[in-house]
Amino acid sequence: MSLSEVKENKSAVIASINGDTRFLSRITSIGLTPGCRVNVIKNDKNRPVLVYSRDTMIALNRKECEGIMVEEVTA
Amino acid sequence: MSSCATIALLGQPNSGKSTLFNALTGMRQHVGNWPGKTVEKKEGSFVHGGKEYKVADLPGSYSLSANSDEEVITRDFIASGAADVVCILADSSQLQRSLFMLADYAGIDAPCFLLLNMSDVAADQGKIIDAKEIEKKLGIPVIPFSATDVKSYDIFYNTLEKAVENGTKLDLSKLSKQYESIQGYREVFNLIPEGVLPGYSSMWLAVKVLEDDKVVCAKLKNAVDADTYKKIEEAKKNAKGAVATGGCKFAWIDEVLDDAVKAKKTSVSLSKLDRIYTHKVWGKTAVILTVLLGLIASFIPALPLMGVGSAVLALKAPITSALYSIGCPEFIILIIGDVVIQSFSYIFKMLGFVFGVTLVFGLLEEVGVMARISYVFDNTMGKLGLQGKSVMPFLVSFGCTMGGAAGARVIDNWGQKVLTIALAWAVPCGAAWATIPMLSSIFFGPGAVGVVAAILLTMLAHMWITAKVFGARLVKKEDRFGMIMELPPYHKPKWGALFRYVMGRTKETFFRVTKVILLVCGIFWLLSYSPNGNDGVLVKIGLAIEPVTKVFGMPWQLFLSYVASAVGKEGAIGVISALYNGGAFGTAFTEAMNGAGAATNLNEILLSNVTKPEALAFIFAMTFNMPCVVALAATYQETHSAKWTAKIVAYYTVVSLILAFIAYHIGMLIW
C-alpha cells in the first residue's frame, strides 16, 4: 500500500520508493529510506500527510506520497 | 587585523544555521546575490582573538544534490576552497536524520568540523550524546553547542581556531565501505580518476553519478574521454539511485552514532497548539488569526521609528521658515521641504514597519510557527506555484504592501519570493481600503458593498492571472514540487541574535531604499512643480493626453490623481479635490499625504464633475495601480533586481489601465 493510504496513528515500514531523480533525492535527504519506520500522525484530505520518523515530524505532499510503498506494522 | 579566515556554515533547515550566523556576525552582515545567480548570498564577519573571520551562510536545503541552484552553489563554493573551514551543523535532538548533510558532504575535499546544535533540547529529551566518541569515528572536531549558552561560544571559537590551523578532514574509510555494497559503485568509482574535478573525491563523484546528478554527469563528460564516459553511463544504468546511496549514508550515520547516543524511547503526539494548527477545519482560521495578531504586534516595535518619521515631518515648518529668513531661493526650500524632508519622513515610517514586520515574522520563523503556516496553506498556495508561507505576505498586504514585500523575505526561494511580492501588489492596502468605500458610497450609495465585492473578486482574478504571467519565468516547472518539509519542534526564540538580525536588516533597508524613495519623490515633485501655482509638466501632459485617458474613463483631473496614487494612495483624494477646486497639484498631494482631510465640499464637487462610470474606472485604476513609492522601494530591496521591479511596475500600470477601461465601459452600459 502507499503511504498516503495508511490511517492516522498507524505505523508502517517503508518497502520501496519510486519517483523521479529529484523526488528520490529529496525524500532520502529528509530521512525516509527503505526499511525506515514511520508513524502516520495526521492524514486529512487536501493537506500534506504528517508522519513521524527518525525523531522528526515531516509534512509530505499527498501526491508525492503515492510513490512511497509501505507495509503496515500492527504492533 | 593580523590575518583573515573564511568560515562557511552548512546545515539543513532548522539546524540553527541562521541563528548562529546572526549571533556571530550581528550587524556586520550583508545580503546580496551570488554572481550571475538569483540566489541570495549572505555574508558577514566577526573578529575574535585579533583575527578577522568572514562568514558565509551557505544556501540550500536538506542535501547537496543538483536539485536546486542553491545546493549546486553551496557545494561548488566549498569545493573551490573558498572557505578555510566548513562548520557543519546538525540538530542534536534529531541527530540521526540531520547528520545526512554531513554524509552528503563527505567526500568534498575541505577542512571541516561538526557542531551538534541544540544540545540543550536533546538533553531535555533525555538523550545523552558522547561527542568525543563521534569525534573519534569522524576524525574531525565535534562539539556540543547551544546558542543560548554563553560557554558554547568559547568552545566554538577555540574549535574554529584549531580547525583552521590543523585543516581537519573527515575520515571517509567507513563510508566508502558502505558504498562498496551498492551495485555499480565499484565500476563507476574505478572509471573516475582521483582529482578529475578539483575539490571533489572520486568517491563523492561516483555516488553523485549513481544518484543521476545532472550537473556532476555533465562536468564529468567534459573532464574524461568519451570512451570512459560511455562506460560510466553504462555502469550507472542498473543503479538504484538516491534510494540506495541514501541507505548507505544512513547506515554510515548509524555506525557513527552507535555507542555514542543513548536515548529513551519516546512516544510522539502532536502538541495542543499543533492539534489546532493541523485541524482540518480550524487550521486555516488559526493561521490567519496568528498572522493578524502578529501584524498588530509588529506595530508595537514599529511605533518609535514611526514616531521619528512624524517628528521629521514636524521639522519641515521651522526649517522652511528658517531658510526663508536667510533668503534661500524658494526652489531650494521647496526641494528641501517637499522632497528631502518628506522622503525621510516616509523612509522612517517605512523603517518602523520593516523593523516590526521583520521582528515578528523572524520570531514566527524561529519558534517554528512558520512551518505550520506552510503546512496549512501548502495546497492553496501550491496552485499559484508558491509555498504555503506566501500566504503571510498576502495577509500583511491588506494592511500595507510594503510590509508584505518586507515579509516576503521568509520565502527562501528567490523566484517564489519575487512572485509572492508581484502577487501581493494586487492586494489593496489599508490606504486603498480607506478610499474605496468612501468614493463608492459617494457615487453608488448602498451599491458601495457591490463595488467592494467586485474589487475583492478582481483581486483574486488578478493574482491568479499574474501568477500565470510571471510564474512561468520565476518558478520553473521542475521547481514546482509538493512539500517535503520538516515541522520542527517549537523552539524558544534567541532574542539577542534575532534583534541583531532585525537591526541589521533595518539598517540595510535604510541605505537601499533611501535612494529609491528620494529619486522617485524627486522626479514626481519636479514633474508636478509649477512656479506660478497651477500647471507643471504633469498637469500639461495630463491636459494634452486627456483624449487618450478619457478612453480609460479618466478626465485629466482623475488621471493625475491616478498618477499620484502610484506615489502614495493616501494622496489620491486630496489631489482630486484640489484639481476640481482649482487648487495646485503638487501641494495638494503633499498635504494629503501628511494627513490633511479632503475638502468639506468633496461630495458636491465629485458628483457635479465626475460621472458614475468615471468614478468606477478611477476606483479600479487607483486600487490596482502601483501601491506606493515605499512598496516600490521595498520590492527593490527584497528582490535585489531593478529589472524585475521595473517589470512589475510596468505590468501593474498596464493592468490597472485595462481594469479601468473595463470598469468604465461596464459602467457605461449600466448607467
Residues of B in contact with A61 (CB under 8 A): 378, 382, 481-484
- Report the share of chain B in percent with pLDDT over 90: 60
Q: Do B97 and A62 touch (CB under 8 A)?
A: no
Q: Do B278 and A57 touch (CB under 8 A)?
A: no
Q: Quick one: closest CA in A to B488, which residue?
A: A57
Long-range (24+ apart) CB contacts under 8 A made by B531-540 are B531/B331, B533/B584, B534/B582, B534/B584, B534/B585, B536/B585, B536/B586, B538/B563, B538/B585, B539/B585
Whether residue B666 has pLDDT greater than 70: yes
Name the minimum distance, in Å, from the CA of A2 to any CA of chain B: 16
C-alpha cell at B456: 475583492
pLDDT at B1 (0 to 100): 43
Q: Quick one: closest CA in A to B207, which residue?
A: A25
Chosen from A14, A26, A32 to mutate, greatest number of chain B CBs within 10 A: A26
Q: Name B637's Cβ contacts closer than 8 Å, sequence gap at least 6.
A: B405, B406, B508, B509, B512, B513
pLDDT at B268 (0 to 100): 76
Q: What is the DSSP string of B612-628?
A: HHHHHHHHHHHHTS--B
More confident residue, B596 or B45: B45
Q: Do A47 and B378 touch (CB under 8 A)?
A: yes
Q: Quick one: closest CA in A to B245, which residue?
A: A28
- Section B629-642 average pLDDT: 92
User: In one letter, which amino acid is B318?
Assistant: P
More confident residue, B599 or B20: B20
Instruction: Write the class of the CATH domain A3-73.
Output: mainly beta
Q: Do B280 and A47 touch (CB under 8 A)?
A: yes
Q: Name B536's Cβ contacts closer than 8 Å, sequence gap at least 6.
A: B527, B528, B529, B530, B585, B586
Long-range (24+ apart) CB contacts under 8 A made by B493-498 are B493/B363, B493/B366, B493/B367, B494/B19, B494/B23, B494/B147, B494/B148, B494/B366, B496/B23, B497/B19, B497/B20, B497/B22, B497/B23, B497/B147, B498/B19, B498/B22, B498/B359, B498/B362, B498/B363, B498/B366
CA–CA gap between residue B157 and residue B54 (Å, rounded):
13
Chosen from B243, B380, B476 to mutate, greatest number of chain A CBs within 10 A: B243
Q: Do A31 and B67 touch (CB under 8 A)?
A: no
Q: Do A47 and B247 touch (CB under 8 A)?
A: no
C-alpha cell at B454: 467586485
Residues of B in contact with A41 (CB under 8 A): 268-270
Name the minimum distance, in Å, from the CA of B376 to any CA of chain A: 7
User: Closest Cα to residue B71, out of B140, B13, B25, B142?
Assistant: B13
What tens digit of pLDDT does each residue of B81-130 get?
A: 999 999 999 999 999 999 999 999 999 999 999 999 999 989 988 999 99
Does residue A66 belong to the interface with chain B, where contact is any CB pair within 8 Å? Answer: no
Chosen from A16, A43, A57, A69 to mutate, greatest number of chain B CBs within 10 A: A57
pLDDT at B37 (0 to 100): 78
Residues of B in contact with A28 (CB under 8 A): 63, 100, 242-243, 245-247, 249
More confident residue, B475 or B269: B475
Q: What is the DSSP string of B126-195?
A: T-EE-HHHHHHHHSS-EEE--TT-HHHHHHHHHHHHHHHHHT-----HHHHHHHHTSTTHHHHHHHS-TT
Whether residue B671 has pLDDT greater than 90: no
Q: Angle CA(B484)–CA(B143)–CA(B111) in degrees, nearest 5?
A: 80
Q: Quick one: closest CA in A to B377, which residue?
A: A47
| Positive or negative torsion for Cα B336, B340, B344, B345 | positive
- Section B154-172 average pLDDT: 93
- Section B316-338 average pLDDT: 90
Question: Cα separations (Å) of B10 from A15, B74, B110, B464, B538?
Answer: 31, 8, 12, 36, 53
Residues of B in contact with A21 (CB under 8 A): 211-214, 241-242
Question: Cα B648 to chain center, whole Å?
Answer: 16
CA–CA gap between residue B1 and residue A60 (Å, rounded):
49
Whether residue B160 has pLDDT greater than 70: yes
Q: Do A64 and B484 touch (CB under 8 A)?
A: yes
- Section B546-561 average pLDDT: 94
Block means of pLDDT (10 residues each) for chain A, length 75 residues?
A: 92 93 90 94 89 93 88 83
pLDDT at B533 (0 to 100): 67
CA–CA gap between residue B249 and residue B252 (Å, rounded):
5
Candidate from B246, B478, B485 with C-beta closest to A33: B246
Q: Angle CA(B361)–CA(B456)–CA(B654) in degrees, nearest 5?
A: 90
Name the minimum distance, in Å, from the CA of B607 to any CA of chain A: 49
What tens digit of pLDDT does each residue of B205-253 get?
A: 999 999 999 999 999 999 999 999 999 999 888 788 899 999 999 999 9
The DSSP code for B335 is I
pLDDT at B585 (0 to 100): 83
Q: Quick one: closest CA in B to A8, which residue?
A: B269
pTM > 0.90: yes or no? no
Question: Cα separations (Å) of B469 from B475, B503, B525?
Answer: 11, 36, 33
- Interface list for A 5-44 with B (CB within 8 A): 16-17, 21-31, 33-36, 39, 41-42, 44
Longest dimension (CA), chain B: 88
Second CATH level (architecture) for the domain B174-262: Orthogonal Bundle (1.10)
pLDDT at A22 (0 to 100): 85
- Domain at B4-170, CATH from 3.40.1180.10, 3.30.1490.190, 3.40.50.300, 3.60.20.10: 3.40.50.300
Q: Do B379 and A47 touch (CB under 8 A)?
A: yes
Q: Quick one: closest CA in B to A54, which residue?
A: B97
Average pLDDT of chain B? 90
Name the minimum distance, in Å, from the CA of A14 to any CA of chain B: 11
The full set of domain ranges for chain B reads 4-170, 174-262
Whether residue B163 has pLDDT greater than 70: yes
The DSSP code for B337 is I
Whether residue B587 has pLDDT greater than 70: yes
